[in-house]
Amino acid sequence: MKIVVLDGYTENPGDLSWGALEALGELTVYDRTSLTDEAEIIERIGDAEAVYTNKTPITRRVIDACPKMGFIGVLATGYNVVDYVYAREKNLPVCNIPTYGTAAVGQFAIAMLLEICHHVAHHSDAVHQGRWESNADWCFWDYPLIELADKTMGIIGFGRIGQQTGRIAKAMGMQILAYDSFENDSGRAIGTYVDLDTLLSQSDVIALHCPLFPETQGIINRETIAKMKDGVILLNNSRGPLIVEQDLADALNSGKVYAAGLDVVSTEPIRGDNPLLQAKNCIITPHISWAPKESRQRIMDCAVSNLQAYQNGAPVNVVN
Residue pLDDT, tens place only, 198-232 = 999 999 999 999 988 899 999 999 999 999 999 99
Question: Could you say which of 43, 183, 268, 294 is catalytic?
Answer: 268
Tell me the per-residue pLDDT of 11-51, one tens digit each, with 9 for 90 and over.
999 999 999 999 999 999 999 999 999 999 999 999 999 99
Cα gap 241→63, rounded to integer Å: 27
**268 assigned to active site:** yes
Tell me the per-residue pLDDT of 115-167, one tens digit each, with 9 for 90 and over.
999 999 999 999 999 999 999 999 999 999 999 999 999 999 999 999 999 99
Verdict on whether the full-model pTM lies above 0.85: yes
Tell me the per-residue pLDDT of 51-72, one tens digit each, with 9 for 90 and over.
999 999 999 999 999 999 999 9
Per-chain mean pLDDT for the chain: 97
What is the pLDDT, as a whole number, of residue 159? 95
Question: Nearest-5° angle of CA 222, CA 228, CA 233?
Answer: 100
- 10 Å Cβ neighbour count for 3? 21
**287 assigned to active site:** yes
Tell me the per-residue pLDDT of 231-288, one tens digit each, with 9 for 90 and over.
999 999 999 999 999 999 999 999 999 999 999 999 999 999 999 999 999 999 999 9
Which domains are delineated in the chain?
A: 2-99+293-311 (3.40.50.720), 102-284 (3.40.50.720)
Question: Could you say which of 44, 123, 239, 298 is catalytic?
Answer: 239
Over 90: is that where the pLDDT of 78 sits? no
Closest CA to 81 of 98, 64, 56: 56
b/e sequence 6-23, b meaning 16+ C-beta within 10 Å: bbbebbbeeebebeebee
Cα gap 311→313, rounded to integer Å: 5
